[in-house]
Amino acid sequence: MVRVLIVDDSAFMRSALSNMLSSDPEIQIAGSARDGLEAIEKVAQLKPDIVTMDVEMPRMDGISALKHIMANTPVPVIMVSSLTVEGAHITLEALEHGAVDFIPKNLSDLSLNILRLKEVLVDKIKQLARKGVPRRIVRPAARPATAPVAAAPVLRTTGERRVGLVAIGTSTGGPKALQEVLPSLPKEFPVPIVIAQHMPPNFTGPFAERLNQLCKLEVREAKEGDVLKPGLILIAPGGGHMRVARKRGIETTVTISEDRENFIYRPSVDALMASVAEFFPGRALGVILTGMGNDGMKGMIELKKTGGRIFAQNEESCVVYGMPKAVVDAGIADKVLSIEEIAGEIVNSV
């Protein structure tokens, strides 16, 4: 039985979340709190398996309560966030302070119908609660002032085809995972990187800006027609699918669409990987990181058929071992790696 503490100053939100979650026989509502101070008391008193935490509340806000809880009585915390740019910045800050994920406060704005929302939310609560508090990531310093030491050249066998593009897919737990992998890549990284991270609109822009501050490489939210260049990292915009395509037979660009028919998630990892398989046959590295569900598996199968290589994050270092598990179970992963190993293995592959 998963015991949940719901923290929100809105009686409507407390009731809505309680009704959704308690509909599952494996979930029990341990209690509720109306502000951060009450949340701290209830976490210590009730010892829930997981907490949903509103951001803006009287007396003490959600970020302050989160910091206190993670320092004194650690428990998995899911932030309840507004789908605004300001809400994105606050949510990203919460993820850095130990929150495991977030759900939208604007429930009516979701493209998913209410039944689908309940299914996703219940599954997320159960998986995150059972995984427990994730370990904290110690990030490398942002943009060192001193010149980096040149990496040793990678020795290759005669005839080995070089990787021309790295494509990464991730979902729940992805922001933390990417903040460990990407800042570890060297300034002279020789190929482009494209990333599909499940995030709503207004979130991917601030997330790309934050990564850009941490990385030696340029990171930005992708836009229609962006040209892939060595060392450039493009993040698929929330609410749209990013694909790679050839332009005039020479340049490779990205296209952005809002195809709602064929994919549950936007951006879709499957859509990105399938396009990578088409335009970089035998020259792509696909990396699948932590996330719920199996988005990315079909696209990775296409990538594998064309001779691409595939890395999957291992279960021990995942927040949720769903998307990598699907790839591993399909038998297409060339390497299964801890999050600490992935950056080095990517560098060795390009």
Spot the catalytic one: 9, 49, 198, 270.
198
**124 and 179 fall within a common domain:** no
The answer to whether position 140 is within a domain reads: no
Last residue of a domain, one of 131, 157, 181: 131
**Catalytic residue check, 226:** no
Spot the catalytic one: 8, 226, 270, 295.
295
pLDDT number for residue 144: 42
User: SS3 for the chain, per residue?
Assistant: CEEEEEECCCHHHHHHHHHHHHCCCCEEEEEEECCHHHHHHHHHHHCCCEEEEECCCCCCCHHHHHHHHHHHCCCCEEEEECCCHHHHHHHHHHHHCCCCEEEECCHHHCCCCHHHHHHHHHHHHHHHHHHCCCCCCCCCCCCCCCCCCCCCCCCCCCCCCCCCEEEEEECCCHHHHHHHHHHHCCCCCCCCEEEEECCCCCCHHHHHHHHHHHCCCEEEECCCCCECCCCEEEECCCCCEEEEEEECCCEEEEEEECCCCCCCCCCCHHHHHHHHHHHCCCCEEEEECCECCCCCHHHHHHHHHCCCEEEEECHHHCCCECHHHHHHHCCCCCEEECHHHHHHHHHHHC
CB atoms within 10 A of CB 137: 13
Specify the CATH number for the domain of residue 322: 3.40.50.180
**pTM of the complete model:** 0.87
> What's the number of domains the chain is made of?
2
**Catalytic residue check, 295:** yes
Spot the catalytic one: 171, 268, 275, 317.
171
Exposure of 217 in the CB half-sphere (CA atoms within 13 A):
24
**200 and 313 fall within a common domain:** yes
**127 and 169 fall within a common domain:** no
Specify the CATH number for the domain of residue 114: 3.40.50.2300
pLDDT tens string, the chain, 350 residues long: the values are 999 999 999 998 899 899 989 999 999 999 999 999 999 999 999 999 999 999 999 999 999 999 999 999 999 999 988 777 788 899 999 999 999 998 877 654 444 455 666 888 899 999 998 888 766 544 444 444 333 333 333 433 333 458 999 999 999 999 999 999 999 999 999 999 999 999 988 899 999 999 999 999 999 999 999 999 999 999 999 988 999 998 766 789 999 988 765 667 789 999 999 999 999 999 999 999 999 999 999 999 999 999 999 999 999 999 999 999 999 999 999 999 999 999 999 999 99
**123 and 194 fall within a common domain:** no
**241 and 121 fall within a common domain:** no
306 is in which domain, residue-wise? 165-349
**Catalytic residue check, 198:** yes
